[in-house]
Structure 1
C-alpha cells in the first residue's frame, strides 16, 4: 500500500530507479519507487527473444553487485539482466511498488512539494525523480502509409523470425538493434534489406580487450558532451554470438542488401538517399580512429598487448556499395514486413512542472532540474557519455541522491 507522504518519489523501476533507491537508502532518505509493471519490464517484454547485453558482464552492471549466472567476459541474456535487477532490488530491500502507473505529477497548490497521482492512489513528496530512461515512446517515421499493405513494426515489438509473415524484410536503422535483427533474420533464411544511416561502429574487441575497456582507459566514457555533429549518431555494436564487431561488408557478403537512409514512398516504390557509401565510409573512419587511439595508448603506456594489423584492413566493397540501390519496388522485392529500428522519443507528459525547454527536453544540470525538487536520471549524456549505461546511471544516481540529501537536511535542520 502506498504511503500518503514520503520525501522522494522515484518514477520507474528499471536500472535508473533501482540505482536511485540504493543511493537514497544509503543517504537515509525515505522514498518509494513506482513501477507501472514489473521491475526491469522493458527487458522482459519490449526486447527480442535472443537479445543479449551489448557490453560484457564485468562492465554492464552496478559496482555493488556482479552477475550470478554470467561469466565476466560473457554477454548476459535479456532474461539474466531482468533477473539481475530483481535480485538487486531484493538485495537493497528497495521499496518498489510494482503495477503502479504514475499518471500525473503537479506541485501542491499553496504548499511545498508535489502531488503524485497514480493508478493506486495519491502520494505527496518533496522530491520527484524521473527514472523512466531514454526508451519511452517508439518512433516510426511517417514514410510508409497503411495503404502500402505491409506489416510495419518497431524493433521493440519484434521477437523472432517466426513471428513474421513469409517474405523479405526491410530493416530500417543500422544501430545495435537494427544490425542484430537484420543478421538474425538473414541467418534464419530471410531475404533482408538493411537501411543504413550515419553511425559509429567500434570494434567489439581489439588487442585482447573489449571496446568497453578501451573507451574506459581512453577517457571516452567520461566525455561530458558528444563530439560536434555526433549527438544523434547511432552506435552499431553487438554482444550477439559471443560478441562480434559489426561489419556491414560482412553482412552484405552473408546476403543482406545494404541501402541508404529510407527517404520516401510513392506507388509501391520506396526511395533511398544516395548516402550509403558516405555513411559506410564515416563508420569505417570512426572504427579506424579508435584502433589508432588504442595503438597510441598501448605504445605510450608500454602495454604488452598483441598487435592486430589485420584489424586495420578494410575489405573490398560489395556490389550493393559499388552500385547502390536508390529505389525499390516492394512487391517485386517480395518485401512483406518493415521493421523500424529507429529509436525512441522521451515522454514526460505525466510530469506537469515547469522544467522543460521550448524543444520539450528536460532542463537540468547533471540530473538536477531547473525546477527545485525535480530530478532526472538515466538519460543519454545526463552528465557524461556513460550516463545511460548500467554502471553510468549508478554514478549519476549517487550525485543526485547527494543533492536530495542536502535538500532534505536543509528542510529538516
Structure 2
C-alpha cells in the first residue's frame, strides 16, 4: 500500500530538521526521510581534526541554540554531530532513518509519487533538504597518474594516518583543501599544495572575530538578488580560514616559509609529469586582496558607527614565489598520495521534475520552485550567504514553512494550519 503524507522532507541534516521543527509548530503532518542516519554527513564526511569555521554562537537552529560554555569557539566534528542529533531529539522529529528516495515525480492527480526503500509514498508537498554537494569531483586526467600514487577525494580524508610515508599533494585551496593542507602540515607531512582562486579572510581583526563584525554589519542578511553579480554568487568559493585551536588565519605564504611547496593551477599530467599554470602569485595576491577588502569594510563600519575598537597593523606578505613551477616530475619527488579537493557536482537524477537548469542545479526563488509543492532547503546561497550553513538555515526554513502552510490552506480551505 502507498503511504500518504501531507509533506515529505528528504534529508535528515540540520536543514531537514529545521523545516521539520517549523512544520511541527504549525501542526502540519509530515515525515523526514533520511537515507542514512541523522546528521551522518558530519560524522562520515569530515576529517578527524575538523572544526567549524564559524563560531558556535552562530549555531542557532529553530527552537534550539548552542548551549555549551564556549560560544566564541568552534565545535569539533563529533561535537557538531552530537549537537544536530540532540536537536532532533529535542522535539521528537519524525525522522525515519535508513529510508532512501530512489524516484520522485509529479503524481497524475497532484502531489508527488515517491519510490522509497520503505515502499511507495505519496506527498502533497516535498522539501528537498539534501544540500548541494552530492558526487565528489575528480578530474579525468587523474587516471594518468602513476598507479602506485594513492588518490582520494577530500570527502574521504580523515588524517595523515591514511597515507603511506612520503609527501602528499593537495589539489585545491577552498575551505576543505586549505584546512586539510594545514592538518597534514601540523602532522609533520610535507605538503605540495595546488592553489586555486579561493579568497581568504582574517580570523580576527580589531579585537573580534571577523564573522562577528560581518554579522553586526548585516552582511549575512543581504539577499543574493542584492549581491554584486546576483545569482551568479552561487558559483563563488567560500573564504578559507580555520577554527582549529581557537581559530586563526590560514596564510599559505607562511606555510611556504615553513616548507610547504605551492603551485599554480594544475593543468594536467603527461607521462608522470604534472603541469601547472603560472598563476600562483596572482592567486595569493587575489586571496589577500579579498581579506584586506573585508578589513576595509570593517574599518568603515567602525568609523561610521563610532565604535571604540583597538587598531591593528595590516597584513604584509611574508613570502613570494621567486620562480613559479610549471612542471613537476613525480618520479623525482617523494609524493605518494594525492587529495583532490576540487568540489562536488549535484545529482538530482532521482527527482524527475522540471525544476533544474542546464547544469542540473535547482531553479528557485528562496527555495520555492515553479513546480507547485516542490521546495529546496539548505542550498549554498539559497537566499543569503548563510543559507547553506547554520547561520541562516532557520530563517530559510521558517520562510518555506509559511509557503507550505499557504499552499495547504489554498488546496484545503477546511484544514486549519496554525
Q: CA deviation at 1:93?
A: 1.5
Change (3 A) 1:147 1:288: closer
Q: CA deviation at 1:15?
A: 1.0
Q: CA deviation at 1:290?
A: 0.8
Query: Contact 1:154/1:339 (CA < 8 Å) preserved in 2?
Result: yes
Aligned position for 2:135: 137
2-side partners of 1:3 and 1:251: how far apart? Answer: 58
Aligned position for 2:319: 317
Query: Contact 1:199/1:235 (CA < 8 Å) preserved in 2?
Result: yes
Aligned position for 1:241: 245
Aligned position for 2:382: 382
Aligned position for 1:350: 350
Q: CA deviation at 1:315?
A: 2.6
Aligned position for 1:113: 111
Change (3 A) 1:147 1:213: closer
1-side partners of 2:273 and 2:144: how far apart? Answer: 14
2:38 partner SS = coil
Aligned residues: 407
Structure 1 unaligned spans of 5+: none
Q: CA deviation at 1:221?
A: 1.3
Structure 2 unaligned spans of 5+: 414-418
Aligned position for 2:371: 371
Aligned position for 2:416: none
Query: Contact 2:30/2:94 (CA < 8 Å) preserved in 1?
Result: yes
Q: Once superposed, what is the RMSD of the aligned Cα atoms?
A: 1.6
Query: Contact 2:276/2:326 (CA < 8 Å) preserved in 1?
Result: yes
Q: CA deviation at 1:187?
A: 1.8
2-side partners of 1:390 and 1:71: how far apart? Answer: 17
2-side partners of 1:220 and 1:323: how far apart? Answer: 38
TM-score norm. by structure 1 comes to 0.95
1-side partners of 2:245 and 2:170: how far apart? Answer: 20
Which residue among 277, 301, 307 is the counterpart of 1:273?
277
Q: Does 1:391 align with 2:395?
A: no
1:404 partner SS = helix
1-side partners of 2:163 and 2:334: how far apart? Answer: 13
Aligned position for 1:300: 304
Query: Contact 2:195/2:263 (CA < 8 Å) preserved in 1?
Result: yes
Query: Contact 1:114/1:126 (CA < 8 Å) preserved in 2?
Result: yes
TM-score norm. by structure 2 comes to 0.94
Query: What are the superposed Cα offsets for residues 122-143 of structure 1, whole Å, 9 maximum, x if unpaired?
Result: 1111001110012211111222
After superposition, where does 1:96-245 map in structure 2 within 5 Å? 96-109=95-108, 111-145=109-143, 148-149=146-147, 150-225=149-224, 226-228=227-229, 231-245=235-249
